[in-house]
């Protein structure tokens, strides 16, 4: 179960070997003059076609001049785990999505979404468990770009060889926690006793900027940065085969879906 079951793995391997995973890209974007009349259409990120496959590369290590740098890195520290690549395949005709996640330790975990229910193989490869219920396959992708709108559109630029719509917005993000010590009096009599200092968790916030580039021709994402991680998107050729979960997982997902439908159809319940 723990492998890519499509050409997505081949594409990931090729891109990884070519250095894309280390940000070896043309720096940019460079503003384009005279293109003020070129504006994105609503919706900013279009609905994906019936069958689609794409990869998202994650970079956790980048500096403040990241838009002019070619040295982005996955950035996993010793003892920590970071997502490096997510490969997503979706098929609207079967209401199925496959989400394969490659972590910095090299392990790949594959989740499936069928008719709104997401499931994953157990760690011992014996059976499956339901991760949760969520959107159907058409809504799995690009949820991180829900903030795009006309008010944060900043114009057209050139990023590498691509013409892109640029979006920017200032936001506040958490920058880890720090410990603060507080002393508290126990009595109010002479010789007040003071309780030993207790530690409190205080969340530190920092103002930063989130950025997104959309391809001018398709309005599909090329890059986004939420202030904590850079995502680089690679849209792959649409799959020609119907996408379905593995048979043993499909049986479990179908049974769960039927149970949910039965509950909805009961008298006195929504839809009943």
What is the pLDDT confidence band of residue 263, given thresholds at 50, 70 and 90? low
* Contact partners, residue 89, CB within 8 Å, separation at least 6: 6, 8, 52, 53, 97, 98, 239, 243
Percent of the chain with pLDDT over 70: 66
**Model pLDDT for residues 4-56, shown as the tens digit of each residue:** 344 344 434 434 443 444 444 444 577 665 567 789 999 999 888 899 999 99
Please state the three-class secondary structure of 191-216 as a single string: CCCEEEEEEEEEEEEEEEEEEEEEEC
Domain ranges of the chain: 8-167+210-265, 173-204
Any idea which architecture 8-167+210-265 has in CATH? Clam (2.50)
Bigger pLDDT: 174 or 138?
174
Instruction: Give the pTM.
Output: 0.74
Q: For residues 128-156, give the mean pLDDT.
A: 78
- Res 229: pLDDT: 92
CB under 8 Å to 187, separation ≥6 — which residues? Answer: 193
What mean pLDDT do residues 251-269 have? 71
Mean pLDDT (the chain, rounded): 76
What is the structure's pLDDT at 48? 85
- 106 pLDDT higher than 70: yes
- What are the pLDDT digits (tens) for 67-90? 887 678 766 555 678 899 999 999
Please say if the pLDDT value at position 212 is more than 80. Answer: yes
Average pLDDT of the segment spanning 207-219: 94
Write down the pLDDT at residue 67.
Answer: 87
243 vs 26, more confident: 243
In the prediction, which pLDDT does 13 show? Answer: 47
State pLDDT tens for residues 169-179.
999 877 655 55
């Amino acid at each position: 179960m723990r492998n890519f079951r499509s050409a997505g793995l081949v594409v990931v391997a090729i891109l990884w070997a070519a250095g894309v995973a280390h940000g070896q890209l043309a720096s940019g974007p460079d503003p384009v003059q005279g293109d003020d009349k070129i504006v994105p259409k609503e919706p900013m990120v279009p609905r994906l076609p019936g069958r689609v496959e794409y990869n998202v590369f994650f970079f956790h290590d980048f500096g403040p001049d990241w838009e002019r740098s070619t040295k982005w890195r996955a950035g996993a520290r010793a003892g920590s785990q970071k997502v490096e690549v997510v490969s997503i395949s979706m098929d609207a005709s079967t209401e199925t999505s496959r989400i394969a996640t490659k972590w910095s330790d090299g392990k790949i975990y594959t989740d499936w979404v069928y008719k709104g229910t997401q499931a994953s193989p157990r760690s011992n490869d014996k059976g499956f468990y339901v991760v949760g219920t969520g959107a159907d396959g058409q809504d799995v992708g690009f949820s991180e770009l829900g903030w795009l709108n006309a008010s944060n559109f900043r114009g057209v630029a050139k990023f590498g060889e691509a013409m892109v719509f640029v979006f920017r917005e200032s936001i506040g993000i958490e920058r880890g926690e720090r410990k603060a010590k507080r002393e508290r009096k126990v009595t109010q009599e002479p010789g007040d006793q003071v309780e030993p200092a207790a530690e409190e968790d205080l969340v530190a916030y920092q103002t930063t900027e989130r950025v997104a580039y959309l391809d001018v021709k398709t309005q599909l994402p090329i890059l986004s940065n939420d202030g904590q991680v850079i995502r680089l998107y690679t849209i792959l050729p649409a799959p020609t085969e119907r996408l379905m979960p593995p048979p043993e997982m499909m049986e479990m997902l179908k049974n769960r879906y039927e149970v949910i439908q039965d509950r909805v159809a009961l008298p006195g319940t929504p839809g009943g």
